[in-house]
Amino acid sequence: MIFRTRVFALMLMLVLLTPAAIWPQAASAADSAGDTKAQAIAKQSSVSPLSAWQLAKANDPSYQAAISEREAGQANRALGRAALLPQINASAGRSRTRGTLQAPDARGNVVETDLAYMTRTNQIQASQALFDWAKIAGARQGYARADLSLAVFDTKARDISTRLISRYLQALLSYENVALSRGDLNNSDKNVNIAQRRYDAGEGTITDVREATSRRDLSRANLIQAEDGLAIARRELQAMIGTDPAEILGLSPDFKPVPLDPPDLAAWQARAEQANADIQSSQQNLRVADREVDKAIGGFLPTVSAVASRSVNESDSISTRSQNSYYNSIGVQASLSIFAGGQTYAQVQQARHSRDQAGHQLNAAQAQVGVDVTRQYQGVVSGAQRIAALETAVSTGALSLEAMQKSYQGGTRSISDILDAQDQLLTAQRDLAQARLEYVNAHIGLDAVSGALDDEAIADATKAWFGPNIVQLG
């Protein structure tokens, strides 16, 4: 007997310790498994657009909030379905009665009796809706709300991913501005030295020296501004990926635009009409509004429910002292609202107007998506043409600057001509860097607005236009 008792106590201790000692560890392992990939990416020396997106999914607060909102929205399925399932309620009551009962006896004399008894009431009741149109519509609306939360998550995930890519590209553009500004300052220093030597040799003028010096001061101010922009762009990218992006992949040295697939605008418009997150979200919102109309109409219809109950009462009142009563009941209950002051009619009208509003919002979303697709499509098509034109401009600008420098050494050109040629080349180089980044942004934006922006699309963009050169942001 003692042995059995000890075995039972040991088993009980194991059962009590298991949830606290084992289950939380398993849950912790499951939670940490999702962060393993992000931690491995964070340890890499350089950040690419794809790895930046993976880090953002693990660390960006807005993305995490969108996930929580999506999961909360999925509970609407169970909430809507719950009203159609059996409802079981139990109640128990206990009360003690103390007092004095005065009653006449057979002779007509008043006799006092002390009262001291306990009243107990236990009841359990079950009901099942047989027909309730409002609850049926509410269950359907619950599924619609759950689908809406999925569509809203897709919309927010798309917005976050495009914002991340924009910040990544802005960091690259800021780096290019710093690099070009440093090169411009270096060239300005050389121009000052050349103008000073020519002036000292009696071949130049003090005006050339002052013009070159003024241009160098302006280049230094532009470099300070560019460095400020780089620091801000780096911090904005860090805020989304959760780690300091000291090194990121730059654009490929042999950067080339790629043909669109499909090539025509109509195909992209059709794809966006089917897969755009904003349109899908608006469609689900219209579906929810339509179910709200059905719920309101249910106020005009009767409801039918099956009801069963059992109650046990002990000493329920003075007249039933020391008595026990047991009641079992089963039946069907039907109810119909005859008049509710016009509330049901007003609710139906309100729901219909809200549904009309959701329909108009869907039309507006479809129109806006059409505009966005056209904008991004034209950005890709014209962006490729602009890149080609700016590449030619950079080549001719470099040749023009070289020719101006030689002519200045020969005495046929002034320092102003060199500074103008240098400005034109710098402008062309900056425009080319910005055009390439805008092309990438438009290409990814076209995937986003057409509903095709996912990990694979970002990976393809990373492979096509980035690396292997690494950009130092710090």
Tell me the two tokens of residue 416.
């102003």
| pLDDT in the model for residue 116 | 74
Higher local confidence (pLDDT), 237 or 415: 237
Mean pLDDT of 401-417: 86
Mean pLDDT of 178-204: 90
Amino acid at site 217: D
Task: State pTM to two decimals.
Answer: 0.81
Strands, sheet with 303-314, edge to edge from the N-terminal-most edge strand: 87-104, 110-131, 303-314, 324-335
| pLDDT in the model for residue 105 | 76
Amino acid at site 180: L
User: Does the pLDDT value for residue 257 go beyond 60?
Assistant: yes
Q: What are phi and psi of 226, to 5 degrees?
A: -65, -40
| pLDDT in the model for residue 294 | 95
Digit-coded pLDDT (tens) for 44-94: 568 999 999 999 999 999 999 999 999 999 999 999 999 999 999 999 988
SS (H, E, C) the chain: CHHHHHHHHHHHHHHHHHHHHCHHHHHHHHHHHHHHHHHHHHCCCCECHHHHHHHHHHHCHHHHHHHHHHHHHHHHHHHHHHCCCCEEEEEEEEEEEEEEEEEECCCCCEEEEEEEEEEEEEEEEEEEEEECHHHHHHHHHHHHHHHHHHHHHHHHHHHHHHHHHHHHHHHHHHHHHHHHHHHHHHHHHHHHHHHHHHHHCCCCCHHHHHHHHHHHHHHHHHHHHHHHHHHHHHHHHHHHHCCCCCEEEEECCCCCCCCCCCCCHHHHHHHHHHHCHHHHHHHHHHHHHHHHHHHHHHHHCCEEEEEEEEEEEECCCHHHCCCEEEEEEEEEEEECCCCCCCHHHHHHHHHHHHHHHHHHHHHHHHHHHHHHHHHHHHHHHHHHHHHHHHHHHHHHHHHHHHHHHHHHHHCCCCHHHHHHHHHHHHHHHHHHHHHHHHHHHHHHHHHHHCCCCCHHHHHHHHHHHEEEEEEECC
Cα gap 11→16, rounded to integer Å: 9
The CB density around residue 109, as the number of other CB atoms within 10 Å, is 8
Cα of first residue to Cα of last residue in the chain, in angstroms, is 75
| pLDDT in the model for residue 293 | 96
The pLDDT mean for the chain works out to 87
Digit-coded pLDDT (tens) for 273-318: 999 999 999 999 999 999 999 999 999 999 999 999 999 888 766 6
Mean pLDDT of 109-123: 80
User: Does the pLDDT value for residue 372 go beyond 60?
Assistant: yes
User: Does the pLDDT value for residue 5 go beyond 60?
Assistant: no
The CB density around residue 450, as the number of other CB atoms within 10 Å, is 23
Digit-coded pLDDT (tens) for 395-404: 999 999 999 8
Please state, in angstroms and as integers, the Cα–Cα distance from residue 289 to each residue in 69, 83, 141, 149, 173, following that order.
Answer: 20, 19, 8, 14, 45
User: Does the pLDDT value for residue 7 go beyond 80?
Assistant: no
| pLDDT in the model for residue 316 | 61
Higher local confidence (pLDDT), 219 or 325: 219
Does the N-terminal peptide bond of residue 24 adopt cis geometry, omega within 30 degrees of 0? no
